[in-house]
Structure 1
Amino acid sequence: MKLRLFEFYFIKDYLRPWFGLIYSLFFLFFLGAIGYRITEGWEWSDCLWMVLITITTIGFGEVQPLSPEGRIVTVLVIVGGLIFIQFTFQKAVRLFESGYFQRVNELRFKRLLRKMENHVILCGYGRVGQEISNQIKTQNIPIIVVESDEDRKKIAEENGLEVLCADATLDETLKLAGLEKCKSLVVTLPNDAANLYVVLSAKGIRSSIRVIARAGTEEAASKLRLAGASIVVSPYIAAGRAMASMALRPIAIDFLDLLAGSECEIEEFELSNDISLFETAEKRSLSELGIGKKSGAKILAIKENEKLFTNPGGNFILQPGQVLIAFGSKEQLNILNGLLGNLVVAVELLK
């Protein structure tokens, strides 16, 4: 309620510069209509219509033949309209020079941020950030870019992204970007210290937030993990591993590239830790649930604590806290989600 009242008064302040022009326009309409009413004796609707087509220079013609007095009223209305247009233009120029329209755009952007949820916050729009945003956009997931550099901000806006031009290390910036309602936070600032600061701030605001951070060195990666980053990626190490994999397992890399351009996805299904749900469940094994037959999705692996069970068989029993890694189309994965029912507490897209 307080937020809506704040928005009301905020919008009112932005409309206040136009009140004088709006009152002047109504005053011009009122005087012109009275003038036609006195000189021509028309109905009020005809008087107002004549003022409208005169001011806007639409040129539909006179409502009725005008008397000499009526033509004088028409001339006065035309002069008043020209003066009004001149004042409107001058007002717009002054407001533009004072940054008024930029503030209006910021208000629109802040209202948009408050409505967003399940989006990705991307801190930093360098080369790595640009590639990340391109990949996220292919999944039709809303994304907010936090960037303090004006040049990078313009590039992001040209690419059709919503950009919050602010310091990502500040708590108020992360809150404004919707940290409490976002899907995940990706930190790709060029400075390791700044990345660490963002992770600490984000975890302080929302401890359960999923944070993917960039690290330039192994030491920075270690500190980012200690700060609470869910995943730490070093572009140099990742590029080296990818190139080594291309040399050793080119077919597997080609498969991943094909997967990136297909309609198939890989998702994580996190199972509940509530033991009672599993005790009351009639079907707990993969074969009993009929995941492959009913959904068409493929369970690639099941993560339990720190162990990873790859290509599990039909007799594999689902347990609390496990994470199922499944492969399939969006429709197949939705069916799988329905088969698991209330056993699932969270679904995370990996590709």
Structure 2
Amino acid sequence: METPPSSLLQRVKLNQIVLAIALTVSSLLFGMAGFMGIEHYRPVDAFYMTVTTIATVGFGEIHPFSESGRLFVSFYILYNLVVVAYLVSAFSSFIFGGELRKIYKMIRTDQEIRRFSGHVIVCGFGRNGRRAYQELRASGVRVVVIELNQELMKSHADGQTGEDYDGDGVAGGNIYTVAGDATTDLVLKQAGVERASALITALPKDADNVFVALSARALNPRLKIIARASLKTSESKLLTAGANSVVMPDEIGGSHMAKLVVRPEVIRFLDLISGMSADRLRLEEMSYQQLRRDLRGRSIRELDVRSLTGATIIGMRTAEGSLLVSPPVDYVPLDGDVLLVLGSESQIESFEVQFRQL
């Protein structure tokens, strides 16, 4: 996978620091070796003379130099002028350029993610990944984004309010980001995959999504994995790799446009549910275990959801896995059933207040 410019720049800056430290240590060792070999200084005296020479403080020699010693010191001072200049330049850029602050924020955010449990991981912050993130955050779900190209994160934050991103792999505000390749186990673990409840992999390449699904399933067998695919042939591979569901945006988009021609009102109604329209409806689910204890054992007629809240039970998934559309009013929800309720935002909130187990 190609390394984006921002990540490459950070790597170059870090390499400059490592090189500056290596040059300083090698210069120190070289100076000690020179003083010990030419002037026959003891190690402690050689170290002292090396440090004073590098620092150019001019405390004087322990004993007068020989001609070879003076020649060595002259060239050694010229060499260290270059080394010290490079060292100061590298560290100044690192500190005043904000790199030190970025490292601190990376450590802080990593510690915060370590405390997450039951969160959702979104791999890839392209069009599909960004949309998934926005929907999850709108539903109050805690999300960790894995993205290699940090310019995508910065461009998103620039257009948002209440969210901040510094372009360093660490997010401010509510965006928690791990900068790295989602196909590697190390990055997935850094995002807390072992403690996550679900993972959405929306990387551009199907092969990368297959690899993410395979790795994530091995790290967390209970994880719910939703994968993006561009090709129909990739669907079976993703399911075999461990994905629970596969979404093909291109096929969905084409089907959506065609149905706008033949069944436009149906699509407009679906847009209300999906949040694509301004007058948004909310489709919520509530399992039998989430239902208030005193309401369990009652039929749909006795629950009287519509009269009490204005919302409507439009479907139900039974414990056996079958889906009932407009379930009979005399049906009594059982353990393992899941109610599907449709209504406006206020109606669903009223439904949850009156029917959800606290």
TM-score band, normalised by shorter chain: 0.5 to 0.7
Task: Show the counterpart of 2:215.
Answer: 201
Q: Is 1:267 aligned to 2:284, yes or no?
A: yes
Scaled by the length of structure 2, the TM-score of the pair is 0.60
Q: Go from structure 1 to structure 2 and tell me whether the alpha carbon gap of 1:262 and 1:202 turns closer, same or farther (over 3 Å shift).
A: farther
Aligned match for 1:312, one of 318, 327, 331: 327
Contact 2:280 2:344 in 1 (8 A): yes
In structure 2, C-alpha distance between the alignment counterparts of 1:309 and 1:129, rounded to whole Å: 31
How much has 1:316 moved relative to structure 2? 1.4
In structure 1, C-alpha distance between the alignment counterparts of 2:135 and 2:354, rounded to whole Å: 29
What are the residue-to-residue correspondences of 1:202-351 with 2, within 5 Å?
A: 202-259=216-273, 260=275, 261-262=278-279, 264-272=281-289, 283-304=297-318, 305-330=320-345, 332-337=347-352
Letter in 1 for 2:262: L
How much has 1:323 moved relative to structure 2? 2.2
| Cα-to-partner distance string for 1:23-44 (whole Å, 9 max, x where unaligned) | xxxxxxxxxxxxxxxxxxxxxx
Letter in 2 for 1:100: L
Contact 1:284 1:317 in 2 (8 A): yes
How much has 1:234 moved relative to structure 2? 0.8
In structure 1, C-alpha distance between the alignment counterparts of 2:97 and 2:349, rounded to whole Å: 52
Task: Show the counterpart of 1:126.
Answer: 126
In structure 1, C-alpha distance between the alignment counterparts of 2:95 and 2:109, rounded to whole Å: 19
How much has 1:318 moved relative to structure 2? 1.3
In structure 1, C-alpha distance between the alignment counterparts of 2:232 and 2:108, rounded to whole Å: 41
Q: Is 1:154 aligned to 2:154, yes or no?
A: yes
Scaled by the length of structure 1, the TM-score of the pair is 0.61
| Structure 2 SS opposite 1:325 | strand
Which 10-residue stretch deviates more, 310-319 or 172-181? 172-181
How much has 1:299 moved relative to structure 2? 0.8
Contact 1:303 1:323 in 2 (8 A): yes
| Cα-to-partner distance string for 1:255-312 (whole Å, 9 max, x where unaligned) | 2333413453112223359xxx99x976331112232233332111112234321112
How much has 1:230 moved relative to structure 2? 2.2
Contact 1:125 1:156 in 2 (8 A): no
In structure 2, C-alpha distance between the alignment counterparts of 1:113 and 1:329, rounded to whole Å: 33
| Structure 2 SS opposite 1:109 | helix
Letter in 2 for 1:322: D
| Structure 1 SS opposite 2:240 | helix
| Cα-to-partner distance string for 1:125-180 (whole Å, 9 max, x where unaligned) | 12222333343344444432211124324334435443211111222322222334
Contact 2:120 2:143 in 1 (8 A): yes
| Cα-to-partner distance string for 1:184-222 (whole Å, 9 max, x where unaligned) | 311111111211111122222222222211012222111
In structure 2, C-alpha distance between the alignment counterparts of 1:272 and 1:138, rounded to whole Å: 24
After superposition, the CA RMSD in angstroms is 3.2
How much has 1:338 moved relative to structure 2? 5.9
Corresponding residue pairs, total? 250
In structure 2, C-alpha distance between the alignment counterparts of 1:231 and 1:97, rounded to whole Å: 44
Task: Show the counterpart of 1:112.
Answer: 112
Contact 1:216 1:235 in 2 (8 A): yes
How much has 1:324 moved relative to structure 2? 1.6
In structure 2, C-alpha distance between the alignment counterparts of 1:191 and 1:109, rounded to whole Å: 28
Contact 1:156 1:163 in 2 (8 A): no
How much has 1:233 moved relative to structure 2? 0.6
How much has 1:94 moved relative to structure 2? 5.4
What are the residue-to-residue correspondences of 1:134-153 with 2, within 5 Å?
A: 134-153=134-153
In structure 2, C-alpha distance between the alignment counterparts of 1:332 and 1:262, rounded to whole Å: 14
Could you list the runs of 5+ residues in structure 2 that have no partner in the other structure?
Answer: 1-89, 164-174
Aligned match for 1:173, one of 182, 187, 208: 187
In structure 2, C-alpha distance between the alignment counterparts of 1:272 and 1:187, rounded to whole Å: 29
In structure 1, C-alpha distance between the alignment counterparts of 2:228 and 2:328, rounded to whole Å: 36
Could you list the runs of 5+ residues in structure 1 that have no partner in the other structure?
Answer: 1-89, 345-351
How much has 1:242 moved relative to structure 2? 0.8
